[in-house]
Structure 1
Amino acid sequence: MRLYSFFQVNIVRKKVSCNVFKLEIDTSLLKVLVAGESQKKGSLFASRHFVRHKVFCCGGDTTMTDLNVSSLSKFEMDDFSSIYEELNFTYNYTEFILDPDTQPCGTFTFPDAVMITVCVFYVLIFLLAIPGNVVVGVVISMNRRTMTPSDFYLLNLAVADILLAVTLPFWAASVTVGWVFGDGLCKIVTVLQELSFYSSILFLTCICVDRYMVIVRALEARRANRLMASWGVCAAVWAIGALLSLPGLFSSSFPSKNFTLYVCAEQYDPKSADEWRLSTRILRHTLGFLLPLAIMVPCYGITIQRLLHIRGGFQRQRAMRVIVFVVGAFLLCWMPYHVTVMTDTFFRAKIVPYKCPERMAVDQAMFGTQSLGLLHSCINPVLYAFVGKKFRRRLGQVMKKMGLKERGSASRSSRSSLSSEITSTVM
């Protein structure tokens, strides 16, 4: 009813001179308001006929009240009341303004030349790592009588590097054509990479502790059956590495953000993705980097300090040099990646505020530092060959046994004393 009275007031306010055109507009408004009410067309026709008749019969200046519009019959008002409920509604709306700080950051793609370079880089690492670590394994294995616990740990470290190198052809292909190997291989390759990473850092920690026991706590080292214990330690390391690599089973193949290529990466349930990612990252940082680093730094510090204060320490420092280089190479290769992943973890956990430029910079850094970490799989054999004088001599002996090198003067027999054990087969 309120709509009808509003229409009536508007008509009364106007003064016209028998303006049929204006009145026809008003009556056409009535037609619009009751359109679709076919059962009430008779009422509409009657009201329009009544109004038109009054206009044609009027004369001179007159007001709309003279037209007696207010005397429209009650059935006309009932017509409006029947559709009023349909027209009377309330529309609530809220204005939404996009906050650029909360929007997903845009994707960044490396140029094709960069991706091809990375692909070639991975292939070269693979070609160096496989034969290099196989040679290390052969040299250590063929000197079982003089093998020390550190040698046994280095042998297992070579196996871990081989496992990492085996995954490189898959990653090389993925950076150019995307992940085309399916979900199954995505999980297997990711687990192997994680297993290699954790076992490598744990074996390096074992080597560090063994060097500490031999040099700083020599008497206890003599009493203990360290070689037999090293077998159990290695089995425990592989078991721990396998357990820590299980989150790699969450990896799967899915389209990238721009839907151009498939990628192999972690994919969690969206409802619990942040919690899973944060927990696995904390586990990775703590057990895979911070805790081993907290053990290695003081152990090597005390060991080197002890070597500087004992007779013949300089000769033994030369033996320690290979171990220091091996640990240093691991830190140089993997520390940048860990720092970058920690930064990414802080961003995702909203511990550190960030904007899109910082987010994209971290993503690019993770890609670059991961490539540097993969380089570690071929570095150790190079270090043994160039730094380990005893390793080169042992390698020559192996080549003679295999007929790859002419037999020369007999090599010096290996001493079985503790001093010889400090140097080990490789160093």
Structure 2
Amino acid sequence: MTDAQIFAQLHKLTPADAVAYLQKRGQLAVTYGWQDLWHEEHARQFTISRLTRADLLSSLQEMITKSVDGNLGRRDFERDAQKLLTDAGWWGTKEVIDPATGEILKTRFDAQRLKLIFDTNTRNAYAAGQWERAQRTKFTHPYGRIISKDDGRVRPEHRAWHNITLPLDHVFWLTHWCPNGWKCRCRIVLVSKAEYERGLTPTGAPMKKDAPDIIWRDWLNRRTGEVQRVPAGIDPGFGYNAGRAREAALQRLVQNKLTTLDAPLGAALWQSVQAELAATQLAECQAMVARVSSDKRANGQMLLVHTVDAQTQQALAAQGVRLDNAAVLLRDTEVMHALRDSKVARGAAVPENVLADLPNHLPGAAVYLDTVNNTLVYAMSLPGQVGKVVVRVNYSEKGRLGAERMKITANHVATAGIIQASDLLAARYVRMK
């Protein structure tokens, strides 16, 4: 049995799901540092740092896919890859020129490098495939449990995560779905409802049913100069769920597209993809709010949390307000403002769980046009009170969409808080929906 097949068996996963993940990575990318592709970009693109020939990238990708499919073992891959690179003059040390800087960079292909390439790609493929499988079976097995190695080589943080057992929809899995670093040997097993209720693992050890606090640290990406936030215990570049990467990438694509389409077309586009992307949209919003709440910091991350529907657009047009596009974006900067301590202390803050679930709350909210400030006010019915989300229309805001910083004109959430229902009866508020 090959190493790839052994790894698949450990995860109780047929290679087909992993192969499908590798085949989805249809784009080849020439990069000059492993930092050049970040998180979900790996779901769409295959790269090997500083390997600048597309034909060699394509051949190596095909070999890895065959290995995961069971047609090659790691030794076969290493043998064939070494011959390929030797024949092409790429075995050993090679110099390449970074076109962005003109700098001469050195790269080395040897047996150790091939082993790392093979292990990293196959383990990510199986992790992505397992996530796909988990979504198909979560009616009977709705939980995941981390199993770490119990030896002297395991990272302390990974040992602490051993037996953490959480619902598959928990935001923890957005950043902690194994592998969580280079050469990480942790894995995840799916847990049934009955097993979870018993609360014991097959070894008799108790399950840890509470998610640990995620501590974020600054990490400087020396390729881009950008300071990024990375969860403690996770190597930079691994703090994402490879299985959700395709949906996250599609979410980014739709998000970008919505900001360029006329509002009616944008609303129609979202309606056509909502069923596929709603869960990802909600999970990303929950993750952002959780990060800001624990970290007390913002980096300008922007997310699509709502799309103004056709009915509201028509009512706005009747009031002389025409939207440039239908996208409603939320920045973590505004989340931090909404959750600030002074606002919470005087009871004026929207509960954190409501902010985290905005993609669920906004579609059913009553919508008003504030004719004084030319903003939209979404009024949400909450237990014992009314929550409001104020949205600037046709407003330009700077922030991050994925890894890219840009200025986007859309409809941006300005603030959120509590409002008296009677206040909405004032003449300045005109009901849109």
Q: Give the TM-score band, short-chain normalised.
A: under 0.3
TM-score normalised by length of structure 2: 0.22
Identify, as 1 or 2, the structure richer in helix. Answer: 1
TM-score normalised by length of structure 1: 0.22
Larger RCO (alpha carbons 8 Å, 6+ apart): 1
Identify, as 1 or 2, the structure richer in strand. Answer: 2
